[in-house]
Amino acid sequence: MHKKRLFLTITLGLLLLTGSVKAQQAQDSVIISLDQAIEIALDESRTIKIADISIEKSGYAKKGSYAALYPNISASGSYQRTIKKQVMAMDFGGQSMEIEVGKWNNVNAGISAAMPLINAQLWESLKLSALDVELAVEQARSSKISMVAQVKKAYYAVLLAQQVYDVYKDVYDNAAKNYEYSSQLYAAGKTSEYEYLRASVNVKNAEPNVYSSLTAIDLAIWQLKAIMGIDLETKIGVQGSIDQYTDEMMSYIVSSDDVDLENNSTMVQLSIQNEQLERTIRMTKYQYVPTLSASFAYNYIAMGDDFNFKWNPYSVAGLSLNIPIFSGFSKRNSIRQYKASQNMLELSMEDTERNLRVAYKNYENEIATFMKNYVAAESTVEMAQRSYDIAERMYELGKTTLVELNDAQLALVQAQLTMSRTVYNFMVTKASIEELMGNEF
């Protein structure tokens, strides 16, 4: 009897301990909502920061390409010391004469400027640089949309883990209550040792599920923190429960229309890349067009055998016309290469669009299935709960066995978990649809 009481004390102590775990976690943690989790992720995530830096980088590249439109101004200077002067030989009246030419010191200094006046290839390259910035912006938007979807799914995973814990905790509570009741009956000699042992085994069998569900909550929260980009040692909790999204699921309208992919980031990026290839082809064709540029130079030159120079300025201005004639068919082959790449990209766009539409239809069909499964599971839970309540009362009256009570409880647990997982699967699928359609937070 002493051992039985000791076992009962330990079991009840464990019950109180596990029952206070979530309360202690909530007390020590910062509780955040889903919107707050998303906002933190958009502010702290390394992926988003890298995307923002990529936009900044592309912006600098665009500004650098515009520099080609401005005059290129440079200053230069040089000094030469003659080591041995050049000798010129001349013939005067049949007599040869050699004369040293030049000065010992030669100095040049000046400023020059040049700028394009007509250069169609350059102008097209500026438009291409603008598309690079546009592509970087869209890639950053894609990162944010993907980040929002990941945070939502991780958040829902925490809610589901907490719901699973609540279910298994109820199972543990019921097992402990039945064990206490069986212990009292066994001590009074009103039940068999088999029923008593069976009740104690049920308590032990319920413990691992409680521990596993608590571990699952911790892992889900760690995953959420990793996606949010915050310190993994930060203690956080989440608001709400997975059941609060039931009304959203049941009010969801499954669309029979085709999906609008106008805002889908993948399609937008492919469209920008296609336009880039079109601009590249046009820029290559413009290599056949003549170019005109202007130049100007203002220089000073001074020569002398000593450093008492006399500076003599001179300046020039000019135009330079370049007319391409033949370059070994390199331009034509480059254009053909870019057109082949464009054809490949267009085929890829068609294939991507087809796969996205199939994925959307699959998501919609899954949601319709989830809604039907939830209705069925909801009805099952009501019947299973009623069955368990009846079995529990009959067990207390000694008209049924613990085995039958356990069977009723198992059916109830399975139905409850099915409902929670159905709502979770719906919310995860809905987040995937929002990501596919390019919906922003």
Which element (helix H / strand E) includes 90?
strand 86-92
Tens-level pLDDT at each residue, the chain (441 residues): 444 443 444 444 444 444 444 544 555 678 999 999 999 998 888 888 888 888 888 888 878 888 888 889 999 999 998 888 888 877 777 777 878 787 888 999 999 999 998 888 888 888 888 898 899 999 999 999 999 999 999 999 999 999 999 888 888 887 887 778 778 777 777 667 777 777 778 788 888 889 999 999 999 999 999 999 888 888 999 999 999 999 999 999 887 777 889 999 999 999 999 999 999 999 999 888 999 999 999 999 988 888 787 888 989 999 999 998 888 888 889 999 999 999 999 999 999 999 999 999 999 999 999 999 999 888 888 887 787 778 777 767 766 666 676 677 777 788 888 899 999 999 999 999 999 999 887
Q: Are 293 and 116 in contact (CB under 8 A)?
A: yes
Q: Which residues of 59-95 are buried (b: 16+ CB within 10 A; e: fewer)?
A: eeebeebeeeeeeeeeeeeeeeeeeeeeeeeeeeeee
Q: Which of 181, 167, 178 is nearest to 204 (CA)?
A: 178
Cα separation of 210 and 376, whole Å?
Answer: 27
Q: Are 287 and 334 in contact (CB under 8 A)?
A: no
Compute the Cα dihedral for 312, 313, 319, 325 and give only its sign: positive
What is the DSSP-derived secondary structure letter of residue 305? Answer: S
Which residues is 101 bridged to in the sheet?
Answer: 86
Radius of gyration over alpha carbons of the chain, in Å?
Answer: 41
Cα separation of 204 and 210, whole Å?
Answer: 11
Position 3 scores a pLDDT of 41
Write out the two tokens for 124.
Answer: 């097209």
What is the DSSP-derived secondary structure letter of residue 241? Answer: -
Length of the chain: 441
Position 9 scores a pLDDT of 44
Q: Which residues of 14-29 are buried (b: 16+ CB within 10 A; e: fewer)?
A: ebeebeeebeebeeee
Beta strands in 194-279 (DSSP E): 236-238
Phi, psi of 353, rounded to the nearest 5 degrees: -60, -40
Write out the two tokens for 388.
Answer: 């368990």
Phi, psi of 294, rounded to the nearest 5 degrees: -115, 150
DSSP string covering 212-279: HHHHHHHHHHHHHHHHHT--TT--EEE-S-GGGGHHHHHT-----SPP--TT-HHHHHHHHHHHHHHH
Q: Are 193 and 186 in contact (CB under 8 A)?
A: yes
DSSP string covering 100-158: EES-SEEEEEEEEEEEEEE-HHHHHHHHHHHHHHHHHHHHHHHHHHHHHHHHHHHHHHH
For the whole model, what pTM was predicted?
0.78
- What's the order of all strands across the beta sheet hosting 105-118? 72-81, 105-118, 291-304, 312-322
Which element (helix H / strand E) includes 98?
strand 95-101
Position 16 scores a pLDDT of 44
Write out the two tokens for 184.
Answer: 């009292």
- Hey, which CATH number is domain 2-69+119-289+327-437, 2.60.40.10, 3.30.420.80, 2.40.30.110, 1.20.1600.10? 1.20.1600.10
State the distance between the two ends of the chain, measured CA to CA, in whole angstroms.
Answer: 63
DSSP string covering 350-404: HHHHHHHHHHHHHHHHHHHHHHHHHHHHHHHHHHHHHHHHHHHHHHHTTSS-HHH
Write out the two tokens for 156.
Answer: 């829902």
For residue 96, give the 3-state DSSP assignment. Answer: strand
Helix axes 34-44, 46-66, angle to 10 degrees: 50
